[in-house]
Amino acid sequence: MEKALEISKKLNVECDASFSSGWLHKFKLRRGIAGKIVSGESGDIDCETVDVCIQNQLPDLIKGYEQKDIFNADETGLFYNLLPSKTLDIKSDTCHGGKKS
């Protein structure tokens, strides 16, 4: 809304238009999209799922890499502050986030 007013001023377009986000609100309602807060502890993964992944998928993912080139980026904390606290999601889904370390 503010950007539209800013552009109209730069183009010397005089208008007393007021803008709303009604179209966006209706779009979200039609598509079942809702803003949600990502919760931390509910994002834990069960150990069985991890074990299955390690046994079945991990060997294919790491073949071709030397042991010294494989590391866990989660342990570095590089991505911790980049996680959003809010997201848009389908209303019926639950939001899960990462666990604080």
Distance CA 3, CA 12 (A): 14
Check residue 40 and give its pLDDT. Answer: 59
Q: Is 55 domain-assigned?
A: no
Q: Is 70 domain-assigned?
A: no
Give the count of domains, the chain: 1
Q: Is residue 100 very low, low, confident or very high in pLDDT (cuts 50, 70, 90)?
A: very low
Provide mean pLDDT across the span 4-19. 79
Q: What is the pTM of this model?
A: 0.34
Q: Is 20 domain-assigned?
A: yes
Q: Is 6 domain-assigned?
A: yes
Distance CA 51, CA 99 (A): 18
Percent of the chain at pLDDT exceeding 70: 65
Provide mean pLDDT across the span 18-36. 83
Tens-place pLDDT, residues 49-89: 888 888 999 899 889 999 888 877 666 655 555 666 677 77
Distance CA 97, CA 69 (A): 27
Q: Which of 99, 88, 6, 91 is nearest to 45 (CA)?
A: 99
Q: Is 10 domain-assigned?
A: yes
Chain centroid to Cα 79, Å, comes to: 13
Q: Which of 99, 96, 100 is nearest to 39 (CA)?
A: 96
Residue 32 domain boundaries: 1-41+82-93
